[in-house]
């Protein structure tokens, strides 16, 4: 089932605010961007999280900030394979390991520390990959073994258990995370009541540069404006991002919603600081490449 951009926004708002807020119709501008009010809201979010129980839970748990899938080296061989992956069309032509391992796995952080975690079965991981229903070309899986992969988390880079799926025609495996994230903490601050040009929820976190100084986010905007913008407020504990819409035109306009990547430069590397959304008052979710930003973060 394909989803429209408007439906995606409603789902995101439902996930992060507890109620589905409707996008403004009729094309008229909402509240104009006010840098002072935006900064004040960002400061409120930053101070609420600093030293909070939610922040403690976040720093002790496993919260991935990367795509749960890592492609084979050189993928893809051709456009047909790429389209099959994007459509989640896979075909299983070999045995998969049976029940999940009885022994718990471990998330290991590069900065030190580890966390015991339950490991999913290869079948469960495969079913998260193979959700396509279209008839046509598929990527062929011939087997799997349990290994590891490295990805970004709320506590920095970590090595996590992952299923390595062998694909026909590829020399290296496709990796899929084999563990679920920790339970999200209850946020210490309430979300903004409704979206406006002055402040919009962010769709998700796309990437953090290797040096941690550049963050790429996906932000909302409409068809009659100058695109999205993101303000940033940094502190020693967290980084708060405020998404807003540039110069919406007066008069009638369609109510379609669009998304665009916005790159934000930081004064210093992210490190173990929390990345927060000023609108929702919660950590910015990972922006999965093919669909919704999952509240489970994996």
pLDDT tens for 29-58 read 456 778 888 999 999 999 999 999 999 998
What is the model's pLDDT at position 95?
A: 94
Among 101-105, 195-199, 224-228, the range scoring the smallest mean pLDDT is 224-228
Q: Provide mean pLDDT across the span 253-274.
A: 81
DSSP state of 270: -
What is the model's pLDDT at position 298?
A: 40
DSSP state of 44: H
Q: Provide mean pLDDT across the span 153-168.
A: 93
Q: Provide mean pLDDT across the span 143-161.
A: 92
**What is the model's pTM?**
0.74
What is the model's pLDDT at position 203?
A: 84
The rounded distance, in Å, linking the Cα atoms of 248 and 270 is: 32
> If pLDDT is split at 50, 70 and 90, which confidence band does 9 have?
very low
> If pLDDT is split at 50, 70 and 90, which confidence band does 256 have?
low
> If pLDDT is split at 50, 70 and 90, which confidence band does 268 have?
very high
Q: What percent of the chain has pLDDT over 70?
A: 78
What is the model's pLDDT at position 57?
A: 92
**CA-wise closest residue to 22 among 194, 190, 192:** 194
Predicted confidence (pLDDT) at residue 8 exceeds the cutoff of 70 = no
Length of the chain: 298
> If pLDDT is split at 50, 70 and 90, which confidence band does 240 have?
very high
The rounded distance, in Å, linking the Cα atoms of 174 and 90 is: 12
Alpha-carbon distances of 285 from 191, 224, 269, 275, rounded to whole Å: 15, 27, 19, 9
């Amino acid at each position: 089932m394909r989803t429209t951009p408007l439906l995606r926004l409603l789902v995101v708002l439902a996930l992060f605010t507890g109620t589905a807020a409707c996008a403004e119709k009729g094309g008229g501008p909402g509240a104009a961007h006010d840098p002072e009010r935006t900064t004040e809201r960002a400061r409120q979010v930053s101070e609420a999280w600093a030293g909070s129980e939610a922040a403690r839970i976040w720093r002790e748990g496993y919260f991935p900030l990367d795509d749960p899938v890592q492609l084979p080296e050189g993928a893809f061989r051709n456009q047909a394979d790429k389209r099959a992956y994007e459509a989640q069309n896979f075909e299983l032509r070999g045995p998969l390991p049976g029940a999940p391992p009885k022994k718990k796995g471990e998330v290991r952080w590069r900065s030190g520390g580890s966390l015991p975690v339950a490991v999913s079965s290869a079948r469960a991981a495969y079913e998260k990959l193979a959700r396509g229903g279209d008839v046509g070309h598929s990527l062929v899986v011939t087997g799997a073994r349990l290994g590891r992969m490295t990805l970004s988390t709320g506590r920095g880079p970590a090595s996590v258990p992952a299923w390595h799926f062998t694909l026909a025609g590829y020399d290296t495996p496709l990796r899929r995370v084999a563990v679920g994230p920790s339970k999200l903490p209850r946020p210490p601050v309430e979300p903004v009541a409704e979206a406006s040009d002055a402040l919009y929820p962010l769709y998700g976190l796309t990437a953090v540069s290797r040096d941690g100084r550049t963050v790429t986010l996906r932000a909302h905007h409409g068809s009659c404006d100058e695109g999205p913008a993101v303000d940033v407020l940094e502190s020693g504990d967290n980084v708060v991002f405020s998404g807003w819409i540039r110069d919406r035109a007066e008069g009638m306009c369609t109510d379609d919603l669009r998304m665009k990547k916005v790159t934000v430069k930081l004064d210093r590397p992210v490190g173990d600081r929390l990345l927060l959304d000023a609108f929702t008052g919660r950590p910015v979710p990972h922006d999965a490449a093919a669909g919704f930003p999952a509240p489970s973060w994996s």
